[in-house]
Structure 1
Amino acid sequence: MRYKNIKKGKFISRPNRFIAQVEIDEKNETVHVKNTGRCKEILIDGCDVWLTAPGSPGRKTKYDLVTARKTNGLIINIDSQAPNKAMLEWLNRQGCDRIIPEYTYGNSRIDFYIENGNEKILMEVKGCTLENDGIGYFPDAPTERGIKHIQELIKAKDDGYKAVLAFVIQMNGIKEVRPNKETHPEFETAWKEALKAGVEIIFCTCKVWENGFEITGQEKSNDKDTFRMSW
């Protein structure tokens, strides 16, 4: 998954969760931030950021902020729409029989419905951008929506589907994601309930560049109840 164009800048500030002030070509520019999470460990005054200019008509901002360099040197893609795009690319490379994005299941939408042989799979995708000491954490802010998605996967498992919660790690070298219980303890509880119910949790490792990234493989947690995908 690569962006068509990319521009380097210096992060200045983030007045709210939707916009940031960035220095581009020695000018202060208001840009759209493609992630409504906190990203406070990443977007620090003076850090390098990379932006893309989609060129969509009627936009209030010219640029989207999509990538940043953390103070420890780690380049992180923070585009919240990118994990699903990268996952679709990755699934297409696996030779699955059928892939339907944004699949209607009951009264909800699940990121992917997949058929692989006799297996019918429902997959929800989460992007991980929070890192500490070489470990990824999710979420970086409380997410009732994330808990709802886990509950949907548990129901899908009860209905006979293979249910998968996939974390796309939007940075290099990180192979594990843990629930961020300090930020949202209820999410950790839902995570454990999903494992007990037989929902598979996988961590998708990635190769990240300033202008995009791709999923390169998958890892399992040290938790013995977390499984690798079978395809």
Structure 2
Amino acid sequence: MRYKNIKKGRFLGRPNRFIAHVDLNGEEAVCHVKNTGRCKELLIPGESVVYIEDHGEDARRKTRYSLIGVEKGNLMINMDSQAPNKVVKEWIAQGGFLPGITLIKPEKKYGDSRFDFYLEQGDKKIFMEVKGVTLEENGVAMFPDAPTERGIKHMEELITCKENGYDAYILFVVQMAGMKVFKPNDRTHPAFGEALRKAKKHGVEILVKDCLVKEDELKIAGTLPFEL
């Protein structure tokens, strides 16, 4: 997936989880933050170099700009929480997940959850949940960056899907390149790590994909090993 009209700035502050202020060539730009996570390790006032998408004059929008990327040292990190589903859909459609997929249905409800994708490959019926990963420490990608009861619920529902005859997948999209391994962030939310390990024991497949990340592009690149 590609963005248009990307501009480089410096992060100034985040008055709430939806809005960021960015120094753009000496002027303060108000940006929509396309990630409601904390991202405290990424967005450091006065220091972090960020990338914003300029949507131009659009009366339908409350803000002209969207914050979509940030530099962390030598790392370029895409922090658009809508991007993982878009790149996964492209990847599936291009045959990257499984050959012969005959149906791709986003946002499919099952039980008390709504999963990111329902897929069919012949007689095989598949539910897939996608999680974007923007947290890293020393080359280790981790999820989540904050407690996620919703994530635990998804793990339980994927187990139910598996027990009812569906194939079930949890796919972590690491929105940066160069990571060595993926791990659940047991320090921040041990219950999610426990839920992920339980899901694997019950037959839920775990996939971790890293990405090619540019200022204006995000694309699934390869498979990353994981440790539970």
Rounded Cα–Cα distance in structure 1 between residues aligned with 2:142 and 2:19: 24
List alignment gaps of at least 5 residues for structure 1.
224-231
TM-score (norm 2): 0.92
1:132-147 alignment runs, 5 A limit: 132-147=137-152
Q: Which residue does 2:63 correspond to in 1?
A: 61
1:103-133 C-alpha deviation (Å, 9 max, x unpaired): 1223431101111233211000000000001
Rounded Cα–Cα distance in structure 1 between residues aligned with 2:195 and 2:113: 18
Q: Which residue does 2:102 correspond to in 1?
A: 97
1:127-176 C-alpha deviation (Å, 9 max, x unpaired): 00000010100000111111111111011011111100000000011253
Q: Which residue does 1:78 correspond to in 2?
A: 79
Structure 2 residue corresponding to 1:128, chosen from 133, 146, 149: 133
Which moved further from structure 2: 36-45 or 111-120?
111-120
Rounded Cα–Cα distance in structure 2 between residues aligned with 1:120 and 1:176: 29
TM-score (norm 1): 0.91
List alignment gaps of at least 5 residues for structure 2.
none
Q: Which residue does 1:49 correspond to in 2?
A: 50
Rounded Cα–Cα distance in structure 2 between residues aligned with 1:206 and 1:160: 31
Q: Does 1:214 align with 2:219?
A: yes
Considering fraction of residues, name the structure with more strand: 2
Q: Which residue does 1:14 correspond to in 2?
A: 14
Contact 1:31 1:62 in 2 (8 A): yes
Rounded Cα–Cα distance in structure 2 between residues aligned with 1:53 and 1:143: 31
> Which portions of structure 1, spanning 4 or more consecutive aligned residues, are displaced by more than 2 angstroms?
53-60, 217-223
Contact 1:175 1:204 in 2 (8 A): no
Rounded Cα–Cα distance in structure 1 between residues aligned with 2:110 and 2:180: 30
Q: Does 1:156 align with 2:157?
A: no
Q: Does 1:174 align with 2:210?
A: no
Give the count of matched residue pairs: 222
